[in-house]
Structure 1
């Protein structure tokens, strides 16, 4: 694949769920001839943070237009991500339906770009991986989805509530696009057993997918700024992400 050093980055305002204005960080590749695909990044529970800004730029560097919208705008806007995330965590997270509405706005922003090639991928880590999978089941406007160690895809009935009324695994039959899953075998959320259960459901419904499991890696093994980081597994994981999106979005 090709990498491009030129990009433009800025904050934009999009109309999220129920028309609520929310902020999104965007990075657009420059120096590319022709049309380019888009990637929506759905951030993790640590929040709309610097890691996700860097990850958004990484996709622009790889030849995509990328957008990462602030799912926690209503809970604290652009204040310290750690403080906002703590409030969101204390409130039991955000509603799945609200996330879908906000993410739809991000997808629409990408599709409105004049150099868009017509293809959009969704990717998220941790809670964002769960959210990316939910979005690809609830909507039909993404062409590929990457779930990186998304927990709470498999949920017991006792875990369901008004914000999360349906377990994501029970949405599998409605998955609209190919799915990539990356997981650490030392993780407990999701556990290897839950990952197996998720994959079994995908096979049951004949969904196109590829799951990769990494020994010696736990939750968050891409996070270079934390002790969770596992360099060899992360490098291989990124190669899998680029290959997957290259196959389903760039052609």
Structure 2
């Protein structure tokens, strides 16, 4: 019997990583089992939390040939809790502090770089609040590629009812360390097209490499297959853009 590993074989599991301040936090890791040189992708989950959808996204990137990991940003507030309960506990605590987010992404990045076959290149992608946090991470850490999927409050001021940590971070744009891909719904209000245009103009002024795509007929969370907001055409095209982008910037 052949001992060769099938090229589509994956391993996916919950692991413990060192996050901000050396905190030991939960994360979901998926890796291809076949040998090869691979880039790494840090998936930043959306505000609803470290849920099934986020873990499916991690496995999707592994199936595409990357080492991928999603740190549980709500672990400290509610270790072992249901994602909805953990998200509620985190919101009650004021949300994920920006400094802590950067530390957790840095720890996740270090974990990926230490894996067998890692080529040392790291991309980050986030959805909803994670889109804002993807931009934050890319402006705070040395990364190779970043994807912002409809991240609000990069430009907009804090809105009542949102976690206290959701404040504008446009002033961090001069520190953007890598190319940025932005995917937005043209019917979204957070971020609205004018906020996206403001970010686009600022990055252009700073001569930061970026490409933004807006999708007609799509609002917030158009990638979320379990929600009424799901827009298949936008999501399919969005995935093509993401994989092409990471393929360009994370290859050996």
Determine the C-alpha separation between the residues in 1 that align with 2:86 and 2:36.
Answer: 39
Matched, 1:22 2:58: no
SS of equivalent to 2:76: helix
2:145 paired residue number? 144
1:75 aligned counterpart, secondary structure: coil
In structure 2, the gaps of 5 or more residues are 1-5
2:245 corresponds to: 244
Q: TM-score, normalised by structure 2?
A: 0.93
The structural deviation recorded for 1:89 is 2.0
- Cα 1:4–1:193 change in 2 (3 A) is farther
Name the TM-score, length of structure 1 as normaliser: 0.93
8 A contact 2:19–2:107 mirrored in 1: yes
Unaligned runs of 5+ in 1: none
Instruction: State the superposition RMSD in angstroms.
Output: 1.8
Three-state SS of the structure 1 residue aligned to 2:77 is helix
Cα drift, residue 4 of structure 1: 4.7
1:20-79 Cα offsets, whole Å, 9 max, x none, are 110110000122x43111100011110000000000000000000000010111111231
Within-5 A mapping of 1:94-173? 94-140=96-142, 142-156=143-157, 164=165, 167-173=168-174
- Closer/same/farther in 2, CA of residues 118 and 239 from structure 1, 3 Å limit: same
User: Aligned partners of 2:158 and 2:84: how far apart in 1?
Assistant: 30
CA distance in 1, matches of 2:221, 2:247: 23
> After superposition, where does 1:52-71 map in structure 2 within 5 Å?
52-71=54-73
